[in-house]
Chain A
Amino acid sequence: GAVVSQHPSWVICKSGTSVKIECRSLDFQATTMFWYRQFPKQSLMLMATSNEGSKATYEQGVEKDKFLINHASLTLSTLTVTSAHPEDSSFYICSAADSGNTIYFGEGSWLTVV
């Protein structure tokens, strides 16, 4: 079946550095992908919509210069957390829908900033 894959599953980085998370649709093409963030013991919050070939759309309160999104192909979106700080430590999850509007979530990526 259709799968959305994220990489890496977990990453630890030093404060002030940047880290990139990839989201791939393995069995289908996705012109749109979505990035969510989940802090411990909280719900998922949509951060941004990744649009293939155009700029991402960010939710209110999400800094577009801090969370850079690139959707360079129909199967890959990347989220780069720039100048990461400990408060950016979170679980990041991407999603994409196939042509039948079935939504698939990636396995998630744990980010710890030390």
Chain B
Amino acid sequence: ELKVEQNPLFLSMQEGKNYTIYCNYSTTSDRLYWYRQDPGKSLESLFVLLSNGAVKQEGRLMASLDTKARLSTLHITAAVHDLSATYFCAVDRPNFGNEKLTFGTGTRLTIIP
């Protein structure tokens, strides 16, 4: 059974600080996704990571993937209040195509002014 774990579950940061969210998954997968969810809203796609060593950056967020370690990280640089949200990683299921996702537990990020 594919399991996806994130840590921390809750993160409270001061503005301007850096931090990293970790995502571990238990079996081989082809794609690793990062999503943002604001309260009461659906998911906003942030990154899709396809291969070992992949690194993608958008603004203050940078995601990386280590398929050998089955680990992805989402790094936040110089956090600002607008980044407060819940962040989910998700992986596709082996042998079930790339469309069916298993989500991590989520990390609720709060940026404190």
Tell me whether A103 and B99 are in contact (CB under 8 A). Answer: yes
**Cβ of A31 to closest chain B Cβ, rounded Å:** 10
Chain B CB within 10 Å — which of A41, A44, A46, A101 has the most? A44
CA distance A107 to B38 in the complex (A): 12
Tell me whether A107 and B42 are in contact (CB under 8 A). Answer: yes
Tell me whether A46 and B101 are in contact (CB under 8 A). Answer: yes
Residues of B contacting A106 in the complex (Cβ-Cβ under 8 angstroms) = 42
A34 within 8 A of B: yes
A54 within 8 A of B: no
Interface size class of B (residues with CB under 8 A): 10 to 19
Among A44, A49, A108, point to the contact of B88 (Cβ < 8 A): A44
A97 within 8 A of B: yes
CA distance A97 to B98 in the complex (A): 9
CA distance A98 to B59 in the complex (A): 26
Within 8 A of B (CB), among A39-89: 41-46, 49
A113 within 8 A of B: no
Residues of A contacting B45 in the complex (Cβ-Cβ under 8 angstroms) = 103, 105
Tell me whether B88 and A43 are in contact (CB under 8 A). Answer: yes
Tell me whether A93 and B100 are in contact (CB under 8 A). Answer: no
B41 within 8 A of A: yes
**Cβ of A28 to closest chain B Cβ, rounded Å:** 13
Tell me whether B99 and A95 are in contact (CB under 8 A). Answer: yes
Tell me whether B43 and A43 are in contact (CB under 8 A). Answer: no
**Cβ of B101 to closest chain A Cβ, rounded Å:** 7
The 10 A-B pairs with the shortest beta carbon distances in the complex, nearest first, are: A108-B42, A97-B99, A44-B103, A105-B43, A43-B103, A101-B98, A107-B42, A43-B106, A105-B42, A43-B105
Other CB < 8 Å A-B pairs besides A34-B101, A97-B98, A103-B33, 13 of them? A32-B99, A43-B105, A43-B106, A44-B43, A46-B102, A49-B100, A95-B99, A95-B101, A101-B99, A103-B99, A103-B101, A105-B43, A107-B42
